[in-house]
Amino acid sequence: MQKKSNQFLFVKYRRFPLVLLSMLLCVFILIKCINGTEEKKEVTAVTGFNDYAGSAKCAGCHKTIYESHLQTAHALTAQQANKKSIMGSFEKGKNSYAYTPDIVLSMEKRDSGFFQVAYLRGEEKKAMRFDMVIGSGVMGQSFLNWRKNKLYQLPITYFTAANKWSNSPGFPSGKVLIDRPITSRCLECHATYAEGIAGTAMEPSEFDHNRMMLGVTCEKCHGPAAKHVEFQTLHPQEKTAKYIVNPSSLSRQLQLDVCTVCHGGNIEKTKPSFQFTAGKNLADYFKIDTASIDVANNGNVDVHGNQYGLLKASKCFQLSKMTCNTCHNTHENQRNQAALFSQKCMSCHNTTAATFKTPAHNEVIAIDKNCIDCHMPAQPSKAIAVNIEGEEFPRASLIRTHFISIYPDATKKFKALKKGTAQ
């Protein structure tokens, strides 16, 4: 009997290690599931208006950078419409655009604001208020109109090169189009944040007037900063910035992603607008549109909007570790500073090297002061072309290409200009 009892105990306790191991395995799996859920929640957390501090809060610690950035095209790419922000003239004789002899649209200042007013044979048909300015004015400005909580593009644009009002890009030339809606994807490149309040999360059809941050401001490139401001305010002695993104510390691709969201061509979003923020992987939020060198050479990538695709197809990019910030300081207005940008080229290209001594380079004195007019010339945009009253064909904006290459026609033009200046 005792022998049988011992055998029973042996069998019973022999299973104990297996039971214990099974219990430990269950606990391990449970912990992994909990952690995995927490990580998933963190990855899929929705970025909202309250996550942002507003760039004015940044001025408390970064006053010089803040004030400098206010002068950039990024900061001015979307503004409330007023006398200061609208560039076109409202002076009689300079304030109209005629679609036909009978259909005229007039820009007018009235007691309640500035309006685009449509007339048919002299009779007013519709007045549409300027509510928002889109574009810094370097190339031009388009204008948006609020209708309750929906935004629409106005039919008339200001075209800087002609200093005139023009038909908005892509609008019909013979009639007044007033119902082109503005999507969240449009706003994503002209605002730091805009909150949808109707439609779907993916495609909101209406927006909250009071929960928008116009312009490409600090938090577009550094990420939402509400937690950062709160922490640094409570811990002024802490010199290591918390809860904020320093783009220069990111990998090359993540740095490029910050710019590609707006300068990457026809990228298609796979998640709602404004959910991609600096430091995240853009490919998790968009299908990326890239350009090959053949496509770039054939001129099938427009110079407006896909600077990343053009740059990526360039040998300079492929043979270096350059990013957009290698040449651009987004805190400052560096427009039209050819010598400044050319010095960026000289950081890789040695002017004393035999390979640099080409016939074209040898013909030009101080060639290192202007590389970009030959190798990154301004070219007409297919996307930004407008009808100017009195002109037969649409006029295109000239935008500097980011496909760094050899352009014989641009070189001839540059050398002829230099020669004429010298004489």
pLDDT of the chain along its 423 residues, tens only? Answer: 544 445 444 444 455 555 555 665 655 565 555 555 444 444 457 999 999 999 999 999 999 999 999 999 999 999 999 999 999 999 999 999 999 999 999 999 999 999 999 999 999 999 999 999 999 999 999 999 999 999 999 999 999 999 999 999 999 888 899 999 999 999 999 999 999 999 999 999 999 999 999 999 999 999 999 999 999 999 999 989 999 999 999 999 999 999 999 999 889 999 999 999 999 999 999 998 655 555 555 556 788 889 999 999 999 999 999 999 999 999 999 998 999 999 999 888 888 888 888 888 888 877 788 999 999 999 999 888 999 998 989 999 999 999 999 999 998 888 887 665 554
- Tell me, yes or no, whether 313 lies in a domain: yes
Number of structural domains the chain divides into: 1
205 secondary structure, DSSP code: E
Closest CA to 98 of 115, 122, 81, 114: 122
pTM: 0.84
- Tell me, yes or no, whether 394 lies in a domain: yes
369 secondary structure, DSSP code: G
pLDDT number for residue 198 = 95
Please check whether residue 364 is in contact with residue 418, taking contact to mean a CB–CB distance below 8 angstroms: yes
- Tell me, yes or no, whether 152 lies in a domain: no
pLDDT number for residue 20 = 55
- Tell me, yes or no, whether 24 lies in a domain: no
Please check whether residue 296 is in contact with residue 226, taking contact to mean a CB–CB distance below 8 angstroms: no
Q: How far is the C-alpha of 419 from the C-alpha of 422, rounded, in Å?
A: 5
Contacts of residues 237-240 at CB distance under 8 Å and 24 or more positions apart, as own/partner, are: none
pLDDT number for residue 9 = 42
Structure tokens, 148: 């309750």
Radius of gyration of the chain (CA): 29
- Tell me, yes or no, whether 3 lies in a domain: no
Q: How many CA atoms lie less than 13 Å away from 402 in the CB half-sphere?
A: 24
- Tell me, yes or no, whether 388 lies in a domain: yes
- Tell me, yes or no, whether 308 lies in a domain: yes
**Helices (H), ranges, 334-396:** 338-346, 359-363, 372-375
Q: How far is the C-alpha of 422 from the C-alpha of 416, rounded, in Å?
A: 10
Domain, as residue range, for 407:
293-422
Largest CA distance in the chain: 122
- Tell me, yes or no, whether 318 lies in a domain: yes
Q: How many CA atoms lie less than 13 Å away from 207 in the CB half-sphere?
A: 30
Q: How far is the C-alpha of 239 from the C-alpha of 249, rounded, in Å?
A: 16
Q: Would strands 395-400 and 103-110 be described as parallel, antiparallel, or unpaired?
A: unpaired
φ/ψ of residue 238, rounded to 5: -80, 115
